[in-house]
Structure 1
């Protein structure tokens, strides 16, 4: 009996189901690792989940190959093949290319070509309009080179590290955890030989806990399993911490250490006092910065998603820690993004759910209105630039992912061929950053808030310093130490009071020096004072946007091929970010037509609409296809009728339909379309123009 092969649609549906299963199991592994930290799950459960994930990935790979073999084409579900198709167009049309290509390129660096550069500029300009202008934010621009003391205070100098190993022969560098994970996975795959049950269990356990290994444990594991350098098979060094910041020197003598900033946020924090003054001393307010950041990745991969230089757009919203409501919250309260809360990640289904942001706040799923407000504004922004809402979710950090100082954290994750990618981080960072800089710089980073009902009697902590005791111990430094103790912030006085009562050592910093403080030198006591207001260190709500990551996901979400002609690719860019808003075509390469086309283009350019005139001798259909491939949303054609009645045709890229419009109205019409007017509404205003040009 002959067997019947499943049709391509059935195979593609199988791929969709298999990919969903892999995604769900990946979330299961992550939630079990979080439960392991909280001792709500055991190691055997984590190991079993990893084994199941491996099997599901193997099944997905087989289904992808089966589909490609049966259909002779790729599917968007076949992630690697789809990614290659998108990348081919992006590089061929110079959206971006590897930097320094004629010298062999350097991993982790990319150049944006003409259409990519234009699209990125449009993206950041719309970000500025959507956030900075509409929210009346204070925008700053700070240097990329940052003195070491700033990044010492923020914690980047000590903690911004990955563990690295080197090839002892070639000196090539590799991420230690990546090498171990690859080696362990090869063992589970039966290479170089199958493992017995006990060995397999040990490998499973280690693979489940690689992220938790310290430097010694990671080094011991690499030695135990004989891990070698990839490609060369040479021995590797013991792992050691590698700071991901680019180190440099400031000044001609080179004696002042600096770094290329790993994020743009610190420039905002160190300018807090000036920004508060600029805002009239009032809270809340937000400051923003768009700029380059640098991370010296050990082994960058995944194209624009992991690079060594990238553009960030960050917001720091400063507010009263006891009042995190937002005055414009109701404007987004009914928005329903997909929320992947902590509870949903730990549930059996492991699926995000659409939920009104107002409900998420009232049910304490999102910590406060201000954080939810920025989630809503971020959601609307991502939709406006072309991210598919069905492939966008906001995932809450699990307990083991949260920084100790954070109140709540969510990531805007976008699904692309690399899986779910974190593109925006939204965090309530409490007052951690301002406190860190206040402590290191000995600068007041507090804000003042008058009491609404006038003066009050308030309990305050006062440092009663025994100046004789301090002077006897520290001589000439006594005066500075006394002043430092008396000016300690309320929270630091409370900590010192508790430590002194417990007999613990205490220190105070003056300049670059630290001095030990004893109970004989200072007494921290509570007193009542009549005050008209209070000082406090503001909390910070931080949305941080990875511009390159969002743009890459946007490339994939907007990529398509023409129905019936899969070799004819195009990008469905939203007009607001499209690199070119319109192309102008003379139907024939004759002076009369070309002159009229250039006159129309001049009108559009005068309105700020980027325009290309294509007067090549190719057919109009081929010229349409060329501009479709770089995502130009509209095309204007000068034809015979233009010379008779001063009208032109305007074509929509997505539907390929055309209308005839008077030249005098083209500028205003395209401006409206770029700002968001729908093509359908415009079709009701102007007569349809029938053309078979797209078939030529």
Structure 2
């Protein structure tokens, strides 16, 4: 566990910045909180995580990937609820105006109280009961805690304002007039919902199916902190799995049914119990997890996290409690990972019911529905609007089209009410500030009985959401190591699939005789798409090995004086074990291709080739 390793987080973060995995954006101007630039190493790792994500999820389940606009008109977020509800509560220092996120400030204050030695057991119990609930409290509850615990501004000890709701979306006008209001998307999901109809058509009208999207999202965090864990601009990978709400079984559930994972249920949290190890099949059978499809994705998420190098002993799935569950969700679990900051959410997986599509149907007046064949035809009541378009044309002439459009767009309930009123008297309506008299001769509404063999329904959605920056930081922290023989040698050991470069090419010295072999090997690596770095600097080979280790290069090719002899061979070194083998140059591509794609392990390869101990050919380094 991380605590037992006694690792100083600052050592990890210093190495990440020194080797330019990432750094604060615009640092030469003082930087901007919550914005980060990825350097060459960070870019490569991020790209490899996303590449593996595509293979693990999109290819495995034949998902439909799309790429939607970041800039989004206001109506979309009005429909989704983001305009009204996508907020955090903010506190202001009364004197300085400095802003704080309310739940974080209160949590930090209470956690510090727990560290006080003379605090009573009763008070500790009370604080521990309150802490899990703070993130879901309303303004009144937060203000009560501020008063109860006499919480002040942390930097000045000044009084704080009452909690203020702050919308986290970045707004921007669209177009030169600014009349159309837009936002930078805070998630990628809405693009998949508004394209549901096209996606369903592409899938030949069949459910279930999954849409997937990878892209950048933006949240105007009140007080960004903890490096990549809470930022204002970040990469997301999201899946929307559209399924018939009457059948949430999954055809591939048996592939994950026997997985045992740590589930931290709502009941565990309420009772103050730890997470429990449980088979996914048992969790579904016991209704701990709402349905098979949700459990299937929890299993796939678990396997993905392990595959990219996250420690399985530091993964748990925490169920949302009733006070934090979205009003439309049937069930929701967060994949949390334990790092030096504590348990942090990396992935959310929710059964969002049919809320999103229902909202977009309401606001767009589009039929975002699917169909199911009925085994037995059934009778339904259908409301029909009947318009006498000829008479409307005669009465309203050039305005006939807007009257027809108005009447056609009436909801079923509105049409029924209008029909009932028209049976008593004519009705006056206003369209675009013009008044029109509607009579029962031009509009009626009646309910008829209809036999159907196909039934329309709004699909439910299972939504796994991945925060790529959080996943990446967690993976790096879980794979940070220190050489036991030298505590100054710090490095990362990542799975070859994720490593930024698969190998390094290191000539033993600057001897010109090595140059043809550097070119030969680099050409071979380039041809088969294996990423590599050449380090031909004058530093000692040990220092160059250390540089490669710091940026998690799993394998290093060393060209030495034995390489010059027939048959031409090189030394291949593995990062974590430091073991070395001697391999012929014409075989190195086969070896590296299999190692970097994890088709074979280092132990398997090392048994096939002689262990390297020392050079057989002795040459003086200054002979050039």
TM-score normalised by length of structure 1 = 0.76
Cα pair distance change 1:289/1:478, threshold 3 Å: same
CA distance in structure 1 between the aligned counterparts of 2:3 and 2:124, rounded to whole angstroms: 35
Partner of 1:176: 102
Partner of 2:43: 117
Partner of 1:666: 588
Partner of 2:342: 419
* Equivalent in 291, 304, 318 of residue 368 of structure 1: 291
* Equivalent in 317, 320, 325 of residue 402 of structure 1: 325
Partner of 2:460: 539
Matched, 1:243 2:167: yes
Partner of 2:365: 442
CA distance in structure 2 between the aligned counterparts of 1:522 and 1:186, rounded to whole angstroms: 69
Cα deviation, residue 462, structure 1: 2.6
Other structure's SS at 1:532 match: strand
Partner of 1:339: 263
Kept in 2, the 8 Å contact 1:407–1:428? The answer is: yes
Kept in 2, the 8 Å contact 1:270–1:437? The answer is: yes
Kept in 2, the 8 Å contact 1:287–1:315? The answer is: yes
| CA RMSD, Structure 1 to Structure 2 (Å) | 3.4
Cα deviation, residue 187, structure 1: 7.4
Cα pair distance change 1:373/1:591, threshold 3 Å: same
Cα deviation, residue 76, structure 1: 4.0
Partner of 1:313: 237
CA distance in structure 2 between the aligned counterparts of 1:671 and 1:198, rounded to whole angstroms: 60
Cα deviation, residue 358, structure 1: 2.4
CA distance in structure 1 between the aligned counterparts of 2:201 and 2:330, rounded to whole angstroms: 27
* Equivalent in 541, 544, 548 of residue 623 of structure 1: 544
Partner of 1:4: none
CA distance in structure 2 between the aligned counterparts of 1:200 and 1:367, rounded to whole angstroms: 34
Cα pair distance change 1:238/1:356, threshold 3 Å: closer
Other structure's SS at 1:257 match: strand
Partner of 1:45: none
Matched, 1:641 2:567: no
More helix by share: 1
Kept in 2, the 8 Å contact 1:598–1:613? The answer is: no
CA distance in structure 2 between the aligned counterparts of 1:624 and 1:365, rounded to whole angstroms: 49
Other structure's SS at 2:178 match: coil
1:594-637 deviations in Å (ceiling 9; x for gaps): 33123212211221111111111222222111101111000011
What is the number of equivalent residue pairs in this alignment? Answer: 581
* Equivalent in 54, 60, 83 of residue 9 of structure 2: 83
Cα pair distance change 1:197/1:397, threshold 3 Å: closer
CA distance in structure 2 between the aligned counterparts of 1:412 and 1:196, rounded to whole angstroms: 33
CA distance in structure 1 between the aligned counterparts of 2:184 and 2:517, rounded to whole angstroms: 50
Cα deviation, residue 213, structure 1: 4.9
Kept in 2, the 8 Å contact 1:329–1:370? The answer is: yes
Partner of 1:585: 506
Cα deviation, residue 340, structure 1: 2.5
Partner of 1:387: 310
Q: Give unpaired runs (5+ residues) of structure 1.
A: 1-15, 17-74, 497-509, 512-520
Matched, 1:602 2:511: no
Cα pair distance change 1:587/1:524, threshold 3 Å: farther
Kept in 2, the 8 Å contact 1:76–1:82? The answer is: no
Other structure's SS at 1:403 match: coil
Kept in 2, the 8 Å contact 1:594–1:615? The answer is: no
CA distance in structure 2 between the aligned counterparts of 1:601 and 1:457, rounded to whole angstroms: 68
Q: Give unpaired runs (5+ residues) of structure 2.
A: 393-399, 418-430, 433-442, 616-624
1:653-692 alignment, distance < 5 Å: 653-676=575-598, 677-691=600-614
Other structure's SS at 1:531 match: strand
1:495-574 alignment, distance < 5 Å: 528-574=449-495
Cα deviation, residue 444, structure 1: 0.5
Kept in 2, the 8 Å contact 1:463–1:485? The answer is: no
TM-score normalised by length of structure 2 = 0.85
CA distance in structure 2 between the aligned counterparts of 1:659 and 1:186, rounded to whole angstroms: 53
Cα pair distance change 1:575/1:524, threshold 3 Å: farther
Cα pair distance change 1:403/1:126, threshold 3 Å: same
